[in-house]
Structure 1
Amino acid sequence: MKFWVFHIILAVTLCAKCSFAKSQSNDWRSYLEQLAEEGMDDTTIENMFQELTMLEGNPMNLNRVSREQLEQFPLINFEQAAHIAEFLDKNRPVYTVFELRNVSFLDFKTVELILPFFFAGKAEEEQPTVQEMLSRGRHEVQSRFDKTLQNRAGYGEFADSILQRYPNRKYRGEDFYTSMKYAFTYRDKIQFGLVGEKDPGEPFLQKNYPVGYDHYGLHLIIRELGKLKTLAVGDYRLSFGQGLILNNDFMISKSWGTNTIIRRTQGPKRHFSTAESGFFRGAAAVFQAGKITVIPFYSNKRFDANLSRDGEITSFKTDGYHRTPSEIEKKNNSREQVTGVNINYRNEQLQLGVSGVYHAYSRMYCPVVREYNYYSLRDSSHFNASIDYSYRLNRLAFAGETAVARNGATATTHMIQYTPSGLFSLSALYRHFPISYNAMHAQAFSEGSRVQNENGFYLGVTFSPLQKVSATTYIDLFRFPWPKDQVDKPSAGFDFYFLGTYAMDRNSNFELRYKIKQKEQNTDYPENSRKVLPYNTQKIRLRYNHALNNGWDFRTTLDAALFRRKFFPLEKGFMLSQHAGYRGGKKIRGDLFAGYFKSDTYATRLYSYERNLLTTFYMPSFHGKGIRLAASGRYAFTPRLSFSVKIGHTRYFDRETIGSGTEQISGNRRTDLFTYWQWQF
């Protein structure tokens, strides 16, 4: 205990000795890092980053922006978008973006966060010609190269006799990751992009693999063509209602904000991520006539699947890896076609939507029958339909969706949000997803990964009891009425979260985060008996943030994890880390990170919340005993050309190998190198 206290006091003292600043920018990039820490998946974070980067480079005109555009802006919620739209309707023309500070229920921190995405321009603008848009647009090229410096087992040398017997022991490609992206944007009117990517171990420009990158993507989105509001061709993402039948857009984590649980139908957005699953490939459009909006779409895409001896799909392969003969054989071995439509009516207070989605596979989908998946879809096609709504009544907002599957199973979710001021918000959500409900492209607010076999109630509060104190807390109670994978009977659990922040001044704050989640799982006893027992995981974080007037910022963090299964010993883990960042120069930026971790088991693993390169959200986890060091920097040769590099090093004190199988490293050290070029013209 003395070791912990000494290092905490030392790190905080070093930060506190520095002079205080008078101002600190509220950077949206740092905000995304916080979302990643809260457990949001990498694909969602990358999609948000790409969209926000495009919006920052093509800000919205406050004198022309529509309510629909505000509702699709990721950094504000449903209620905030409505208040901004109402303020603009009453006060246009506005002459400066700082007038957003007069919007009711919009706190100062949120205003600072969203300012880079707006400008106060002319209320009436001439419609540019296609040639003018092409000449005024912005081009951008991004290139990334990553490599692990230590050799891994899959890249070793093997005798032909060994490979003939065990062909999947060796990767067929090089030991580095690389990707290339090109994008053209003109405000939000035109978006065009091309993506190429290869993962470590995948062949790159080899004789028998002449296509170059392993994965390619292409998208084109055009907006504001009369009644045709949006046309998307190529790779895109889409969301209807609350996500009960369709959502491959953002899925917000529970702890991001208790006032973000209400969703609304989103028009098609570009898929500019290197993720090889979770998007559509085809065409979608948005037609608008008065208060009625119609969104039809069609997708025809090949995908990876695990097949049975009879050629039926037993499960979907979504990791995107094609490194060994077995993985290469599964590449694009199946095809899916999806089509659907959403018809939406909305006015200033009410929104009603009707949606339908139909999909068909080129093969029969038939997962191996287990008790937990007994009611899973077993067919080559499926259909879902739903009705969704949202309604604002003064400071109250209501929303929900009810969906039906082809077999008649009905899923539903409903929520209410009360926001009497910008300092208080109360949200509640109820969901009922029966075991017989199947929707292959659904993604909604839930504890599980699928909209199936779950009943739950969520209650969340965000409030500021004092001027310098803010808090966010929620509790989510859930039950799984049918057995799950590794749970042989119906089970239940809860998820509780608390985040408290105390701001000493505008540049220094202290955070306390506590999270406990309890669920149930099969447990094997030494006498070969099995029981379903409750277990809980607790995570605690203490963090001190401090920024200086010379561009430096410091972050001292203590993370602790506790895992307890009933009748079994307590497992513990902790990580003490220090981050220092520099943002004071136009040409040079940099970050340093150092952490010491000690964890009993994988269940108490700790995460390295270090700042990463643009579009790179590598967040490794650690268990055992060791240290983590990372350094990154960015140099801008010109305002439009920059190079970034990061090196991360992990050393373990309790093992002689890292990883397993083809990813195993002989030794107790791992070093990863990341590089990134960005050119705008």
Structure 2
Amino acid sequence: MRFRLLIPLLVIFSEITAKAQTTEQDIIKELIENMAENLPEDYDFSELEERLLYYRSHPVNLNHTSVEELKTLLFLSPLQIHNLFEYMKRNGKLIDIYELQAIEGFDTETVQRLMLFVSLDQNTINDRITLYNVLKYTHNDLIIRYERVLEKSRGYEVLPGNRYLGTPDKYLFRYKYNYSNRISASLIFKKDAGEYLFNGPKQYPFDYLSTHVALFKIGKFKKIVLGDYSLQFGQALTLWSGFAFGKSPEISSMVKNGMGLKPYTSSNEYAFLRGASATINLFKNIDLTPFISYRYLDATVTENSDGLKTISTINQTGLHRTSSEIKNKNSTSQLIYGGVVQYQLKNLNVGAIAYQTHFNNTFIPGTGLYRNFNFTGKDLTNLGTYYDFTYKNIYLFGEIGRSIHNGTAFINGLLVSLSSTVSAVALYRNYPENYHNFFNQALSETSEAVNEKGLYTGLKINPSKSWSFSVYTDYFRFPWLKFRVDAPSDGYELLAQANYTPRKSIKTVFRFKMKNKQLNTDKSVPFNYLEDVRTENYRTEIKWKFNKSWGFQNRLEMVRYKKGTANTEYGYLFYQDIEYSPLSSNLSANLRVAYFNTASYNSRIYAYEDDVLYHFTFTPYNGKGIRTYANLKYRLAKQLDMWARYALFNYNNVETVGSYLDEVPGNKKSDIRLQLRYQF
């Protein structure tokens, strides 16, 4: 009965008339929610948001831009970028921004997004590197953030054995400097909940410290970075650090837009390099990117009977709260050195990658049979080559990677514009079980692109300005065993989504997603066998603006989960978002009230939550209860902003919330977050 009442209400909401426009925050939220559903709950996407907000105030001049700059606008596909430059090559510089609508592959949605971040105006700021310019024409951004769970969890009690040794407070200090995209620098300190604040074991003085200095366009040197940096080349099979998006309704995101060398300014503590790198233009069409990195990593290190220290796993969480986590901190070192050569000529781009990784301790795989092909030893050499080629309306791309003395993996695909309203993607991947790589983030069903074969196909149709349709299918097979999968297995995934936008102020989304995979049976049997696990999600939502100050979002999502012959589990989530953001006021706010009811954690539903600037939350809703949160932003002065957030889970019929050290008594769990931002 509830569903019958909710759906008509959603339809009624979609008919409300408004005049408000799409904002950059709407686009950022939509991009992240669509493209990053499978990443960790508190993953730091600040680099993406910061870049788009920077372009909002410093628009890209389309008549004086480059392929590298447009790649940072992640909603543009390689084919769209190519078509833009081909259009200007034939017709000269753009005279009016609305010419974008005449370029092949630029649908209405893409043009609306792009117009927020680009212009045709000539940048009059002098970008010469002089002492006067770097002091006067600069952009400084300082963020200070505090957060904590208000209830005291079990981990902070005086317990025998494992417990949290630090305080429940979480801090972030982040300073960034930028001069006209010619010089950049950053300094980041972070302390997670449960960690020591000052003077804890193995910290100086905060638990996490990151910094960099970068120079751009210095003679033959396109880029020079000292400190923390990331490398993103090809299709993420051989060398890719930092974040990479997975499967989503944005089917063009399946094609990686490698940005090469870039400074690392995220608070994520694992996927980056530390040392020095540069991109050098050797000849007209040939660039060289040599690099060297030396880091200490968290690892589980044990000593065998011969006194040899060995590594079983690398820990990627960056958490150092308990005695065991602190023991594992910086317990092994990683040295990486190598280079990338890239050749680009008109429609062809080809690159070659070679690098060596050395650890001071030896990797020894565990005893599980599924670990039989895991990496062993101290040294690993990776080689790879990648390409992309554009011919008319077809974009071909691929990469081959090899770990020396081990496996060879490859990925190949094409992106094609079938007409002005239809585009398609097809991608085949083959990652053998003995392919070893510590910087591999290619498209895959699991967290590691290894022991997998798959075929992905996607289609996007924009029949009118109001309607767009996206659909993809992905069939995957795992030739060897996996954790909790004691035999070769396979599965498939299907997503179909329809967007209806009758006005710029109203957007309705209908989505169906289904995944079928195999896991060991839960039954007590002499030998494990595999059972199909099928999860279906049904979603309908409406985003609408009542006027320039008030916005609303409603979502209803239902899930169906079934494993083998066990009883089917059901769950649903309904929420109402309210946003208040008047242009003439220093105050803005948003609020969510959500009701959820799922049978167990298996039928959980993930949803993106609005948060303070540069912080993103993907929350799993499971069990039964109500979720509320409120965000408040207030401009204290022209260059000083403050954010405050309060969030609460109120569960029904439970005596505790959470598990193990994160367990809190009662049926409520709440947290606060405070942030200051000073721009100067």
TMscore range, shorter length? over 0.9
Larger mean Cα displacement after TM superposition, 54-63 or 494-503: 54-63
- Please say if residues 258 and 425 of structure 1, whose CA atoms lie closer than 8 Å, have aligned partners that are also in contact: no
Query: SS in structure 2 opposite 1:260?
Result: helix
Matched with 2:269 is 276
Match of 2:175 in 1: 182
Could you report, residue by residue, the CA deviation over 1:491-530 in whole angstroms, capped at 9, with x for unpaired residues? 0100111111122333223211111111111113245653
Describe the shift of the 1:85–1:623 C-alpha distance in structure 2 as closer, same or farther (beyond 3 A): same
Matched, 1:566 2:564: yes
Cα distance in structure 2, aligned partners of 1:551 and 1:479: 49
> Is the CA contact (8 Å cut-off) linking 1:544 and 1:557 kept in structure 2?
yes
Tell me what 1:552 maps to.
550
Amino acid at match of 1:172: L
The one-letter code of the counterpart of 1:596 is: Y
Q: What is the TM-score normalised by the length of structure 1?
A: 0.94
In structure 2, give the amino acid aligned to 1:305: A
Note the C-alpha offset of 1:255: 1.0
Distance 2:595 2:99 in 1: 46
1:216 alignment partner, one of 209, 214, 224: 209
Q: Which residue of 2 aligns with 1:601?
A: 600
Is 1:237 the counterpart of 2:230? The answer is: yes
Residue type at the aligned position of 2:512: Y
Q: Please report how far the alpha carbon of residue 552 of structure 1 lies from its aligned counterpart in structure 2 after TM superposition.
A: 1.2
Q: CA deviation at 1:408?
A: 4.7
2:203 and 2:216 map into 1 onto residues whose CA distance is 36
Q: How many Å separate the matches in 1 of 2:673 and 2:650? A: 18
> Does 386-395 or 400-409 show the bigger shift?
400-409
Look up the SS of the partner of 1:482 in the other structure.
coil
Q: 2:444 aligns with which of 421, 443, 446?
A: 446
Which amino acid in the other structure matches residue 290 of structure 1?
A: K
Residues 469 and 499, structure 2, Cα contact 8 Å, conserved in 1: yes
The answer to whether the Cα contact below 8 Å between 2:50 and 2:614 also exists between their aligned partners in 1 is yes
Give the corresponding residue for 1:583: 581
Asked if 2 retains the 8 angstrom alpha-carbon contact of 1:36 and 1:45, the reply is no
Hey, what's the Cα distance between the residues in 1 that align with 2:671 and 2:537?
27
Cα deviation, residue 431, structure 1: 0.8
Q: Do 1:457 and 1:477's aligned partners in 2 also have CA atoms closer than 8 Å?
A: yes
Measured in 1, the distance between the counterparts of 2:661 and 2:20 equals: 52
**Alpha carbons 2:230, 2:264 under 8 Å: kept:** yes
Corresponding residue to 1:507 among 497, 505, 510: 505
SS at match of 2:166: coil
The residue type equivalent to 1:222 in the other structure is L
Q: Any idea what SS the aligned residue of 1:584 has? A: coil
Question: Residues 609 and 616 of structure 2 are in contact (CA less than 8 Å); yes or no, is this contact kept in structure 1?
Answer: no
Give the corresponding residue for 1:136.
137
Q: Residue in 1 aligned with 2:244?
A: 251
Alpha-carbon distance, 1:177 to partner:
0.8
Partners of 1:117 and 1:521 in 2: CA distance = 45
Q: How does 1:120-135 map to 2 (within 5 A)?
A: 120-122=120-122, 128-131=128-131, 132-135=133-136
Distance 2:404 2:15 in 1: 65
Identity of aligned pairs, percent?
A: 26
Instruction: Say if 1:521 and 1:532, in contact at 8 Å, map to a contact too.
Output: yes
Aligned to 1:361: 359
Please tell me whether the aligned partners of residues 360 and 382 of structure 1 are also in contact (alpha carbons under 8 angstroms): yes
CA deviations on 1:412-455 (whole Å, 9 max, x unpaired) are 11001111344210110011111121112111011122221111
Distance 1:305 1:243 in 2: 24
Aligned to 1:192: 185
Contact 2:14 2:542 in 1 (8 A): no
Query: Is contact 2:610-2:617 (8 Å) kept?
Result: no
Say if 2:261 and 2:277, in contact at 8 Å, map to a contact too.
Answer: yes
Deviation at 1:678, TM superposition (A): 0.8
Q: 3-state SS of the aligned residue for 2:83?
A: helix
Match of 2:614 in 1: 615
Structure 1 equivalent of residue 286 of structure 2: 292
Which residue identity does 1:194 align to in structure 2? L
Counterpart of 1:535 in structure 2 is 533
Q: 1:211 to 1:265 in 2, by over 3 A?
A: closer
Q: What residue in structure 2 maps to residue 34 of structure 1?
A: 33
What is the count of residue pairs matched by the alignment?
Answer: 671
Alpha-carbon distance change, 97 to 569 in structure 1, aligned in 2, over 3 angstroms: same
Shift of residue 17 of structure 1?
8.0
Q: Secondary structure at the match of 1:246?
A: coil
- Identify which range, 546-555 or 143-152, moves more after superposition: 546-555
Structure-2 residue corresponding to 1:107:
107
What letter corresponds to residue 535 of structure 1 in structure 2? V
Task: Quote the Cα distance in structure 1 between the aligned partners of 2:679 and 2:286.
Answer: 38
| Residues 147, 126 of structure 1: alpha-carbon distance in 2 compared, 3 angstrom cutoff | closer
- What are the Cα deviations for residues 358-413 of structure 1, in whole angstroms up to 9, with x where unaligned? 10011111121321121111010101111211111101111111122111521111
2:341 maps to which of 340, 343, 347: 343
Q: Is the 8 A contact 2:520 2:528 kept in 1?
A: yes
State the superposition RMSD in angstroms. Answer: 2.2
CA offsets per residue over residues 154-203 of structure 1, 9 Å max, x none?
222x2xxx54xx2x23x221111110000111122111000000001111
The residue type equivalent to 2:196 in the other structure is P
The residue identity in structure 1 corresponding to 2:618 is M
Post-superposition Cα deviations, 1:510-556, rounded to whole Å, max 9, x if no partner, equal 21111111111111324565321111111111112211223211111
CA contact (8 A) 2:75 2:253 kept: no
Q: For 1:605 and 1:530, how far apart are their aligned partners in 2? A: 25
Range that drifts further, 73-82 or 255-264: 255-264
C-alpha separation in 1, matches of 2:266 and 2:76 = 22
Q: Give how far 1:38 is off.
A: 3.6
Q: Partner letter of residue 195 of structure 1?
A: I
Q: 2:3 corresponds to which residue?
A: 4
Moved more, 71-80 or 355-364: 71-80
**Alpha-carbon displacement from aligned partner over 1:451-504 (angstroms, at most 9, x marks no partner):** 211111111000023442211000001111111111111101001111111223
Q: Which amino acid aligns with 1:234?
A: G
Provide the secondary structure at the position in 1 that maps to 2:618. Answer: coil
Per the TM alignment, residue 278 of structure 1 is displaced from its structure 2 partner at its CA by 0.5
- In the alignment, which residue of structure 1 is the partner of 2:368? 370
1:49 is matched with which residue? 49
Name stretches of at least 5 consecutive residues in structure 1 with no aligned partner.
Answer: none
Q: Is the 8 A contact 2:44 2:268 kept in 1?
A: no
Deviates more, 1:267-276 or 1:665-674: 267-276
Greater shift, 281-290 or 100-109, is seen at 100-109
Structure 1 distance, partners of 2:10, 2:425, is 38
The correspondence for 2:417, drawn from 393, 416, 419, is 419
> What whole-Å deviation, never above 9, does each CA across 1:121-171 have from its counterpart, x for those lacking one?
438986523311332111110011111111111222x2xxx54xx2x23x2
Q: Distance in 2 between matches of 1:182 and 1:124?
A: 26
Distance 1:519 1:174 in 2: 40
Moved more, 620-629 or 15-24: 15-24
Shift of 1:211: 3.3
3-state DSSP of counterpart to 2:371: coil
CA distance in 2, matches of 1:11, 1:492: 38
CA distance in 1 between counterparts of 2:156 and 2:236 reads 42
Query: Which moves more between the two structures, 47-56 or 179-188?
Result: 47-56
Aligned to 2:165: 172
TM-score (norm. length: structure 2)? 0.94
1:104 maps to amino acid: E
Q: Which amino acid aligns with 1:569?
A: N
Alpha-carbon displacement from aligned partner over 1:87-127 (angstroms, at most 9, x marks no partner):
34455554664544443321232222223433334389865
What is the rounded CA distance, in whole Å, between the counterparts of 1:521 and 1:398 in structure 2? 35
Q: Determine the structure 2 residue equivalent to 1:86.
A: 86
Does the CA contact (< 8 Å) of 2:18 and 2:545 recur in 1? yes
Q: Give the SS at the match of 1:372.
A: helix
- After TM superposition, give the deviation of residue 10 of structure 1 in Å: 4.6
Q: What residue identity is the alignment partner of 1:31?
A: E
Closer, same or farther: CA 486–99 of 1 in aligned 2, 3 Å: same
Residue in structure 2 matched with residue 661 of structure 1 by the alignment: 660
Tell whether 2:292 aligns with 1:301: no
Paired residue for 1:643?
Answer: 642
* Partners of 1:449 and 1:57 in 2: CA distance: 36
Q: 1:639 to 1:419 in 2, by over 3 A?
A: farther
SS in 1 for 2:43: helix
In 1, are the aligned partners of 2:184 and 2:215 still within 8 Å (CA)? yes
Shift of 1:256: 4.3
